[in-house]
Amino acid sequence: MSVKENADIKLTCYHCGEHCADDRIQHGNKIFCCQGCKMVYQILEQSDLCEYYDLNKNPGINRRFTVREDKFAFLDDEKIIEKLIQFRNDEQTHVMFYLPQMHCSSCLYLLENLHKIHEGVISTQVNFPRKEIEIVFQTGKTTLRKVAETLTGLGYEPYISLNDLNPKRPSVTRKQIYQLGIAGFCFGNIMLLSFPEYLGIDASEETLLRVFRWLSLALSLPVVFYSAMPYYESAFKSIQKKYINIDAPIVLAIALTFIRSVYEVISGTGSGYFDSLTGIVFFLLIGRILQDKTYRSLSFDRDYTSYFPIAVTVLKENKPVAVSLPDIKPGDTLLIHNEELIPADGILSKGKGYIDYSFVTGESQPVFKEVGEMIYAGGKQKGGNIEILVIKEVSQSYLTRLWNREEMKNEKLDFRRSRAEFLNRYFSSIVFGIAALTAAYWGWHDASKIWPAITAIFIVACPCALALAHTFTNGNVLRILSRNRLYLRNAQVLEEISKITHIVFDKTGTLTSTENYDVEYSGKSLSDKQLAMIVSLAGQSAHPLSKAIAGKIKIGKALSVQRFQEIPGKGIQGMVEGVELKMGNAAFVKAPQIRYPGSGVHVCIGTEYKGYFRVRNHYRDRLPAVIQNLKKQFRLSVVSGDNENEKETLQKIFGEDTPLLFHQKPEDKLNYIHALRQKGEHVMMLGDGLNDAGALKASHVGIAVTENSGYFTPASDAILLADRIPLLPRFICMAQWNKKVLFAAFAYSVIYNVIGLTFAVQAALSPMIAAILMPSSSIGIVLITYGVTNLLARRLEL
């Protein structure tokens, strides 16, 4: 790295790329934002792994806030180890960790060289799409806890939740890929063998012709009896439920084509339609895989177990012991550290609770709790350690009970009436009508042609084109949306989005950002020097409000702070430049008795009260424009678990006619959605927290908004990255167009069907015509759907 380059990136941390307040923390000629980042650099330098920094610029993960030392103490517990590891003998232990921080090729490089840093690790293998790492280490030489701590030290903290205690989920099924591969293989070879027939093979080569036909028959067997399996299953299931889905006529067409082809080959009357048959199965399978593409690092079915930690510290005879969560009993005393989750309802028995419920209830400001007060599970402690006396088991707490309500267990509505199925019903009845007419006609004129004509009709007019159009359009639109960070659970969601009439928003975490704040000051005017003093003091604290103030107000160089003190639940104080400074709540700084809008951070310099900073969650960028845009098409509502402080601001953004509901409990949100549905609305809900989980599930389309796809999201139909909320109107537009594209493709397939049917009703469908018609229609469909959807995406700038 040259000196000049260094000058350019001055004051950004060499490790994580974050802005550095000053250049005090140095190593070599590199600047770091904090000791944590510097330490990681030193470890890598010692282990000769500095290639980490060459692969990507500032690839590291910020280490300013370190994880407390004994956080992973529970990994010494044999019972927990037993559940987490995949394999163990006297020599080796295999374990899989989920590392949500993994993000670039540098991460991959570092993690796969873990054995150079951590003695005892034999090998590591990363699965990047899943953000998982499989670690093999020597049993006895190192422990699970030590490995987890090394990873955490490097910035890759393993995410271990209560969910990991469950039995392992079945491994990914690769059946679809086998089926596709085999269909492709058979289709290609049958195509090759069919060419002589198309080109008119000499009749004298009869033996050769027969060999070709029998080989084609043999090659079609795996396709009919293995690759096409999913269609049989789905058709069978639908008939069991007494309705006909789109796969049923496809199965009928496959069966008829196969029987007729086998008959032709055995009787020596023709070559059959093996090429068309295998070709269509092949294309259908491609479409299916495209549509079913899953996002492997995301999960749409998380419940509270993936949000809760796997173990918590329990005080037994005044000694901290790690106990796994299901083993916690009422009467236990839990020790909760800063930033830790409270896993069970209890009573605060020691310390000052400063509890952030934003994820659980939607309240934007942490709640202050004194000894003796009740604390509900799900909140996060901010500040010092507290002790809690458990009064309810984890499975009985307020939060988990919410989850065990009936609504949460119900499967989402039955999706049988999808659009393709709707079209199919018309399509099928018309085809059956034509078949009946043709049979009647040939029965009158030439009974020997009934069978060929009818089979030909079903071969040509199978709704394969429709199925193809459906899967390919959906598959491509899903791909376009995922490129824009909206991940849908499946293609059905797309159809639901196009029908919505009402959009319900959560406030905290959805309309506002939980990571970005707006800071306003009111009070006596402050000089630049005084402002610098305030920011320097705030910079010392990890409290969210202090962090917001220190982050939002830009000053030159930070001043040094002496005798810094943080009083949990009250405020902070310290000496800056020889002057005493106090910041915190009104009582702490002895602010004069006046009414303040909402909560504020009050400031006292020396003995003089100066004023207060109002810290509010920042509304997401471009929000007003987006809301105005959505208002033209949909009815909107806001349901928030928070208080009414923000009512005015929201009313301004949403307009007078939008219902704004505050103090909404999770049940209230759920009931609100139910009420809308009863009115016949098609509801989309956007929310981020556990308190929205019921509402997300109850709405037609529940979209979980998240700042980072590695974070926990409640169960939902879709996951949307928060910074893409401004694109919402375009997403909906895309979903609506998806429907039109599908109809266009359907129209195209009707034209092709009319051509094919004119041959078929005359009993004149030769295998060659079928072989030309089928692939050309399939390719046509694929081109139409891909072309149009991509064009739309470009028009919508997605």
Partner 1 sequence: MSVIIILLAISISIALIFLGAFLWSVRTGQLDDDISPASRILFDDKPKNLTGNSSKLPKTKGYAS
Interacting residues toward partner 1 by CB under 8 A: 1, 45, 48, 50-51, 53-57, 105-106, 108-109, 112, 126-130, 172, 174, 177-178, 181-182, 185, 188-189, 192, 205, 207-208, 211, 215
Sign of CA dihedral 225, 228, 229, 232: negative
Shortest spacing between CB 224 and partner 1, in angstroms: 17
Shortest spacing between CB 361 and partner 1, in angstroms: 38
Pick between residue 178 and residue 225 the one whose CB is nearest to partner 1: 178
Contact of 690 with 360, CB cutoff 8 Å = yes
Shortest spacing between CB 183 and partner 1, in angstroms: 11
Pick between residue 182 and residue 334 the one whose CB is nearest to partner 1: 182
Shortest spacing between CB 205 and partner 1, in angstroms: 7
Pick between residue 191 and residue 504 the one whose CB is nearest to partner 1: 191
For the chain, the maximum distance between any two Cα atoms, rounded to a whole number of angstroms, is 113
The partner residues of 548 in beta bridges, in order of sequence, read none
Shortest spacing between CB 786 and partner 1, in angstroms: 21
Q: What angle do CA 391, 396, 402 make, to 5 degrees?
A: 130
Shortest spacing between CB 48 and partner 1, in angstroms: 5
CB atoms within 10 A of CB 693: 29
Shortest spacing between CB 185 and partner 1, in angstroms: 5
CB atoms within 10 A of CB 226: 14
Shortest spacing between CB 56 and partner 1, in angstroms: 5
Pick between residue 145 and residue 213 the one whose CB is nearest to partner 1: 213
Instruction: For residue 533, give the nearest of 567, 572, 568, 570 by alpha carbon.
Output: 572
Residues listed for the chain = 798
Contact of 280 with 770, CB cutoff 8 Å = no
How far is Cα 538 from Cα 677, in angstroms, rounded to an integer? Answer: 47
Burial class (CB in 10 A: 0-12, 13-18, 19+), 166: exposed
Alpha helices in 160-228 (DSSP H): 175-198, 206-222
How far is Cα 461 from Cα 333, in angstroms, rounded to an integer? Answer: 70
Pick between residue 182 and residue 586 the one whose CB is nearest to partner 1: 182
Shortest spacing between CB 3 and partner 1, in angstroms: 13
Shortest spacing between CB 667 and partner 1, in angstroms: 42
**Alpha-carbon 480 to chain mean position:** 15
Shortest spacing between CB 111 and partner 1, in angstroms: 10
Pick between residue 207 and residue 607 the one whose CB is nearest to partner 1: 207
Shortest spacing between CB 208 and partner 1, in angstroms: 6
**Alpha-carbon 490 to chain mean position:** 12
If DSSP codes are grouped into helix, strand and coil, which group holds residue 478?
helix
CB atoms within 10 A of CB 82: 10
Pick between residue 201 and residue 367 the one whose CB is nearest to partner 1: 201
Alpha helices in 611-654 (DSSP H): 623-633, 647-654
Pick between residue 56 and residue 643 the one whose CB is nearest to partner 1: 56
Pick between residue 180 and residue 390 the one whose CB is nearest to partner 1: 180
Q: What angle do CA 475, 478, 480 make, to 5 degrees?
A: 110
Shortest spacing between CB 163 and partner 1, in angstroms: 21
| Helix (H) or strand (E) segment spanning residue 369 | strand 367-369
How far is Cα 727 from Cα 712, in angstroms, rounded to an integer? Answer: 22
Pick between residue 51 and residue 370 the one whose CB is nearest to partner 1: 51
β-strand 660-661 against 683-687: which pairing, if any? unpaired
| Helix (H) or strand (E) segment spanning residue 514 | strand 512-523
Pick between residue 89 and residue 207 the one whose CB is nearest to partner 1: 207
How far is Cα 476 from Cα 482, in angstroms, rounded to an integer? Answer: 10
Pick between residue 293 and residue 590 the one whose CB is nearest to partner 1: 293
Pick between residue 40 and residue 627 the one whose CB is nearest to partner 1: 40
Place of tokens 């106990």: 323
Shortest spacing between CB 55 and partner 1, in angstroms: 5
Pick between residue 192 and residue 335 the one whose CB is nearest to partner 1: 192
Three-state secondary structure readout of 319-347: EEEEEEHHHCCCCCEEEECCCCECCCCEE
Instruction: For residue 706, give the nearest of 690, 692, 687 by alpha carbon.
Output: 687
If DSSP codes are grouped into helix, strand and coil, which group holds residue 781?
helix
Query: Which residues touch 347 (CB under 8 Å, ≥6 apart)?
Result: 372, 373, 374, 375, 388, 389, 391
How far is Cα 605 from Cα 184, in angstroms, rounded to an integer? Answer: 77
CA 2 to each of CA 6, 17, 46, 161: distance values in angstroms, whole numbers, following the listed order: 6, 17, 21, 44
| Helix (H) or strand (E) segment spanning residue 487 | strand 486-488
Pick between residue 185 and residue 398 the one whose CB is nearest to partner 1: 185
Shortest spacing between CB 228 and partner 1, in angstroms: 17
